[in-house]
Structure 1
Amino acid sequence: MKVNTQSVNFNADVKLITFLENRLDKLETFYDKVISSDVYLKVENTSSKENKVVEIKLNVPRNKYIVKKQCKSFEEAVDSACNSLERKLIKRKQKSRLQT
């Protein structure tokens, strides 16, 4: 799967990007027709500690899934977003099996 990563208001280090790519590659075990993903990493200027925002757009045939999570760290937000995407992909796979 092709992963496009953009970091807004900061420079993402290599460790974070490899963690993100590894976590997204695991999504292919749930639905193998994933085309690509666009990931936006943002740091919001707020006083709260939960200022790390991860937005993932997952492209699958005839559909797009968008998940946005805000947490204390990028790793936590990526995990949370990927868990949501896993549930969506499992639902999609079950629907496609029922239709055929």
Structure 2
Amino acid sequence: MRLKMHAVRFTADQSLFDFIQAKLNKLDTFHDHIVSGEVFLKLEGADSNKVKEKIIEVRLMLPGKEIFVKENDKSFEAATDRVLEVLKDKLVRCKQKRNDFSSQAIVDEKARMQADETVDVDDL
């Protein structure tokens, strides 16, 4: 997956970018149509001398849909792990909705097929 990474008002180390890329590459196993993504790294309290929290924002682009998650923690690595968990859940739900055909015609056909199966078993 192609990720664009942005460190807002600070310079991030390449190893941090590599860590985030490696973690988010695992999302391809949960949804096969991820087009691209953007990652924003921010420091809360960067205007003052003390940095309180580290914030990571991830935006994933899917065909016809966009998923956005924002998490904060004491380190970017911990925040990345939290973002990964939320994104996994959202991607799985999105894929289930895509594969769930709940139109009335399909529901009726499924019910008819189940009824036919029960009749076949009773005939034996």
- TM-score strictly above 0.5: yes
Letter in 1 for 2:81: D
Q: Which runs of 5+ in 2 are unaligned?
A: 103-124
The answer to whether the 8 A contact 1:53-1:69 is kept is yes
Once the two structures are superposed, the pairs formed by residues 18-97 of structure 1 within 5 Å of their partners are 18-45=18-45, 50-97=52-99
Contact 1:20–1:78 under 8 Å retained in 2: yes
Structure 1: gaps (5+ residues): none
SS in 2 for 1:19: helix
Q: Which residue is 1:98 aligned to?
A: 100
Give the strand-richer structure, 1 or 2. Answer: 1
Alignment RMSD: 1.7
Which of these two proteins has the greater Rg computed from alpha carbons? 2
CA displacement, residues 49-70 of structure 1 (integer Å, 9 cap, x when unaligned): 7510000001001000100001
Query: Higher relative CO (CA 8 A, sep ≥ 6), structure 1 or 2?
Result: 1
Q: TM-score, with normalisation over the residues of structure 2? A: 0.75
Task: Look up the SS of the partner of 2:58 in the other structure.
Answer: strand
Task: Answer 1 or 2: which has greater helix percent.
Answer: 2
> 17-26 or 41-50: which moved more?
41-50
Aligned length: 100
Q: Does the aligned pair in 1 maintain the 2:44–2:51 contact within 8 Å? A: no
Q: Identity of counterpart residues, as a percentage? A: 36
Secondary structure at 2:100 match in 1: helix
Taking a change above 3 Å as real, the CA distance of residues 97 and 63 of structure 1, as seen in their structure-2 partners, is same
CA distance in 2, matches of 1:14, 1:38: 16
